[in-house]
Amino acid sequence: MHDTSMRPSEIPDLCGIIERYRGKPGSLLGILEEAQEAQENHYLPEGTLRFIADRTSVPLSQVYGTATFYSFFNLKPQGKHSIVVCRGTACHTRGSLALLEESVRFLGLGEFREEEDNSLTTADGFISVRTVACFGQCALAPVIQIDGSIRSSMTAGRLIAMLRKLKKGGKP
Residues forming the site for ligand FES (CB under 6 A): 86, 88-91, 134-135, 137-138, 141, 143
**Residue 140 CB, nearest distance to ligand FES (Å)?**
7
126 three-state secondary structure: coil
Nearer to ligand FES, 63 or 154 (CB): 154
**Residue 9 CB, nearest distance to ligand FES (Å)?**
36
CA dist., res. 27 & res. 56, Å (int)? 9
CA dist., res. 111 & res. 169, Å (int)? 25
Nearer to ligand FES, 49 or 100 (CB): 100
Cβ-count burial of 84 within 10 angstroms (0-12 exposed, 13-18 middle, 19+ buried)? buried
Size of the chain, expressed as the number of residues it contains: 172
**Residue 16 CB, nearest distance to ligand FES (Å)?**
34
Element (H, E) at 37: helix 27-38
Those residues whose C-beta lies under 8 Å from the C-beta of residue 54, and which sit 6 or more positions away, are 2, 3
Measured distance between the N- and C-terminal CA atoms of the chain, rounded to whole angstroms? 48
Report which residue's Cβ sits closest to ligand FES: 88
**Residue 166 CB, nearest distance to ligand FES (Å)?**
22
Nearer to ligand FES, 15 or 133 (CB): 133
Nearer to ligand FES, 91 or 146 (CB): 91
Nearer to ligand FES, 6 or 98 (CB): 98
**Residue 137 CB, nearest distance to ligand FES (Å)?**
4
